[in-house]
Amino acid sequence: MHVIVTGGAGFLGARLIQQLLAGEASIEGQAITRVTSIDLAPCPVTDDRVESLTGDVADPALIEQALGDDTGAVCHLAAVVSSQAEADFELGMRVNLDATRTLLEACRAHPKRLRFLFASSLAVFGPGLSQPVPEAIGPQPRSSYGAQKAMGELLVNDYSRRGFVDGRVCRLPTIVVRPGKPNQAASSFASSIIREPLAGVEAICPVDAGLPLWLSSPRAVVANLVHALSLEGEALGDWRTLNLPGITVTVNEMLDALERQAGTAVRDLVRFEPDAGIDAIVASWPGGLETERPLGLGFRADSDFDAIIQAYLEDELDN
Amino acid sequence: MHVIVTGGAGFLGARLIQQLLAGEASIEGQAITRVTSIDLAPCPVTDDRVESLTGDVADPALIEQALGDDTGAVCHLAAVVSSQAEADFELGMRVNLDATRTLLEACRAHPKRLRFLFASSLAVFGPGLSQPVPEAIGPQPRSSYGAQKAMGELLVNDYSRRGFVDGRVCRLPTIVVRPGKPNQAASSFASSIIREPLAGVEAICPVDAGLPLWLSSPRAVVANLVHALSLEGEALGDWRTLNLPGITVTVNEMLDALERQAGTAVRDLVRFEPDAGIDAIVASWPGGLETERPLGLGFRADSDFDAIIQAYLEDELDN
């Protein structure tokens, strides 16, 4: 079975592709035998079973080229992240909304009813919600990124209801610890304040130490995406949007864990320097979501933040 | 002050235009002195202050032509209704989503921050909600019409948050009694089962007699739209979507009122003939919404269903 992954050159996309080819996912009982990545850059996974199509995910020609008779699913991870979509409204609309629609239309035209996995975000939610946020609560995003993701959720659900695709929408928590360099996500600091100190480098925290964040490790998120892809659509019921499990941790609790894992000197490399732009976005997100239904469906959260740091250190040693 | 009304040839649009020109609305303290209707047909209101632009509301050239230096607001009422959007997916997407975006982009390019009134619908909601539905509950529509309206809500809110427009979104109840002929709204029967018997004609009810509906008279809805347009944006707060007030009435209670107003013989003209397609849409809508905040802002509901029938009879006698 062939799977298309948009954003396959990205950190999450590449890890997802590795897991798909490692036999972690199955679609209608069949293993994944080849993957096509669609991204601006080539997919970094070195495996003969991976094909990289480089270009704009909003270009219909790319998805047409990727789709084959053996295609069983599209995993749509490509996105313009939160601060970037705030800074460049047109780019965010084109990639986060228009490309989603283009992909859905291409899937609709395919002879098989393809699984369509859409990576949404806790950023669809707005401020002032009682927490953990119940599943029925509505998106009132305070960022264009969140608005675009919320529209994508509605599209995937309507395309699923009509039988055009077999959709599944996962609202991702903030992912910590991302390796590499900071990106233009408003939540980028949440990785930086762990990753940079562990490398002996100073990091800046732009939000209040007491702010609760809804977090997941890369490992847990990728495992949950694999699980979402493998589930029978019927298990998800009529409404295909799921809050992926996470853990609620304040910035202070994150730094306490950092100190436990790496010592006071490492923790002291984090400096607080408020940034109103970042705070306006990140503080509008809930610090916890209700996940009873997803947990019942077999999705999993990390045990605690110490384990997230340990997993990051293990993964970094592997590379 | 100039106002543009899309769907100005429609039943609601024409009534709204009449009220705007009757001095019922004001924008920043100024009266409405001229109105441009954009619709496939010319606006039926005979008044020198009304200009009709006929054509496709999704065509950017039309809105460009309509906008003037004196424009203060766009009231976006044009829509492909529920059963029609279900039957013709592309048409619904083009009119209900793309045209909304085109209008918002045109307003964004205008030198003034224009008020943007968007007519949404209770159809954004899905089934299984505890009722009356609290304001924070999320759209999980079971129709493409509802999905397209919910996406429009998100667009208007994001354009408002960014300061591109000064938006206000009104979720309309099912409007009863509409004059004239049945339309392609799934809820069209709700008017037919009153209007046709009053004219001595048989009518078919495609849903269960016990189904509760969330209703408003045309008078109340138009008054609420005028009020929404006249309010200062700040009064609405950060999230610009409002559930317009309505009353909860079952089909049976509607027919009881019909009998009280017109007699048993008139009521007996209604025949029940279930239609699964219509029922799937209409029964997914809530029968009541929480409207404490809108009532506090000065929006109003009808007193009861008998009054709605009486108002319809008065309006019909006037014509």
Do A65 and A199 fall within a single domain? no
Give contacts of A129 with chain B, Cβ < 8 Å.
136
pLDDT digits (tens, 9 = 90+) for A161-170: 999 999 999 9
CA distance B250 to chain A (A): 25
Do A51 and A141 fall within a single domain? yes
Residue B312 known to be catalytic: no
CB atoms B138 and A142 under 8 Å:
no
Catalytic residue among A145, A189, A299, A312: A145
Per cent of chain A over pLDDT 90 is 94
> Across residues A253-264, what is the average pLDDT?
98
CATH of the domain at A19: 3.40.50.720
Q: Quick check: B131 contacting A, CB < 8 Å?
A: no
**Closest C-alpha to A309, from A272, A260, A269, A265:** A260
Would you call A252 helix, strand, or coil by DSSP?
helix
CA distance B35 to chain A (A): 31
CB atoms B154 and A150 under 8 Å:
yes
Q: What is the pLDDT of residue B153?
A: 98
Do B6 and B118 fall within a single domain? yes
Per cent of chain B over pLDDT 70 is 100
Q: Is residue B178 part of a domain?
A: no
Lowest mean pLDDT among B23-27, B31-35, B107-111: B23-27
Q: Quick check: A158 contacting B, CB < 8 Å?
A: yes
Longest dimension (CA), chain B: 59
pLDDT digits (tens, 9 = 90+) for B215-251: 999 999 999 999 999 999 999 999 999 999 999 999 9
Q: How many CB pairs under 8 A join A and B?
A: 58
Do A56 and A198 fall within a single domain? no
Residue B36 in contact with residue B66, Cβ under 8 Å? yes
Q: How confident is the model at residue B55 (pLDDT cuts 50, 70, 90)?
A: very high
Q: Is residue B182 part of a domain?
A: no
Selected for mutation to probe chain B from A94, A154, A161 (highest B CB count within 10 Å) is: A154
Give contacts of B154 with chain A, Cβ < 8 Å.
139, 141, 147, 150-151, 154
Q: Quick check: B227 contacting A, CB < 8 Å?
A: no
Q: Quick check: A239 contacting B, CB < 8 Å?
A: yes
pLDDT digits (tens, 9 = 90+) for A141-161: 999 999 999 999 999 999 999
Distance CA A226, CA B258 (A): 57
Distance CA B88, CA B197 (A): 31
Chain A residue at shortest CA distance from B143: A158
Q: Is residue B294 part of a domain?
A: no
CA distance A152 to chain B (A): 9
Q: What is the pLDDT of residue B318?
A: 77
Q: Is residue A177 part of a domain?
A: no
**Closest C-alpha to A144, from B55, B154, B168:** B154
Res B90 pLDDT > 90? yes
pLDDT digits (tens, 9 = 90+) for A63-98: 999 999 999 999 999 999 989 999 999 999 999 999
CB within 8 Å of B7: residues ≥ 6 apart:
B13, B38, B39, B57, B76, B77, B78, B79, B119
Chain B residue at shortest CA distance from A159: B144
Chain A contacts in chain B segment 83-112 (CB below 8 A): 89
Give contacts of B137 with chain A, Cβ < 8 Å.
136-138
> Across residues B174-186, what is the average pLDDT?
92
Catalytic residue among B116, B145, B159, B164: B145
Give contacts of B155 with chain A, Cβ < 8 Å.
147, 151
Distance CA A237, CA B195 (A): 39
CA distance A155 to chain B (A): 7
DSSP string, B202-271: -EEE-S-TT-EEEEE-HHHHHHHHHHHHHS-HHHH-S--EEE---EEEEHHHHHHHHHHHH-HHHHTTEE
Do A261 and A278 fall within a single domain? yes
Chain B residue at shortest CA distance from A87: B162
Residue A196 in contact with residue A238, Cβ under 8 Å? no
Expressed as residue numbers, the domain containing B273 is 188-213+247-287+303-318
Q: What is the pLDDT of residue B184?
A: 87
Distance CA A117, CA B309 (A): 49
Sign of the dihedral defined by the CA atoms of residues A35, A237, A172, B161, in that order: positive
Q: Quick check: A32 contacting B, CB < 8 Å?
A: no
Return the number of other C-beta atoms located less than 10 Å from residue A73's C-beta: 26
Q: Quick check: B207 contacting A, CB < 8 Å?
A: no
Structural domains of chain B, count: 2
Q: Is residue B298 part of a domain?
A: no
In this prediction the ipTM stands at 0.96
Q: What is the pLDDT of residue A244?
A: 97
Q: Is residue B177 part of a domain?
A: no
Q: What is the pLDDT of residue A184?
A: 87
Give contacts of B157 with chain A, Cβ < 8 Å.
140-141, 147
> Across residues A28-33, what is the average pLDDT?
95
Do B158 and B116 fall within a single domain? yes
Chain A residue at shortest CA distance from B151: A151
Q: Quick check: B151 contacting A, CB < 8 Å?
A: yes
Do B124 and B237 fall within a single domain? yes
Per cent of chain A over pLDDT 70 is 100
Do A129 and A253 fall within a single domain? no
Chain A residue at shortest CA distance from B238: A142
Residue B71 in contact with residue B63, Cβ under 8 Å? no
Return the number of other C-beta atoms located less than 10 Å from residue B38's C-beta: 30
Give contacts of A147 with chain B, Cβ < 8 Å.
154-155, 157-158
Q: Is residue B297 part of a domain?
A: no
Q: Quick check: A151 contacting B, CB < 8 Å?
A: yes
CB atoms B139 and A136 under 8 Å:
no
Res B317 pLDDT > 90? no
Q: Is residue B110 part of a domain?
A: yes
Do A204 and A133 fall within a single domain? no
Q: What is the pLDDT of residue B75?
A: 98
Distance CA B219, CA B173 (A): 12
CA distance B297 to chain A (A): 20
Q: Are strands B2-6 and A212-216 parallel, antiparallel or unpaired?
A: unpaired
Do B261 and B153 fall within a single domain? no
Distance CA A122, CA B112 (A): 33
pLDDT digits (tens, 9 = 90+) for B122-141: 999 999 999 999 989 999 99
Distance CA A310, CA A149 (A): 31
CATH of the domain at A199: 3.90.25.10
Do B140 and B202 fall within a single domain? no
CB atoms B138 and A137 under 8 Å:
yes
CA distance A197 to chain B (A): 35
Do B88 and B107 fall within a single domain? yes
DSSP string, B59-89: -HHHHHHH--TTEEEEEE-----HHHHHH-H
Q: What is the pLDDT of residue B232?
A: 96
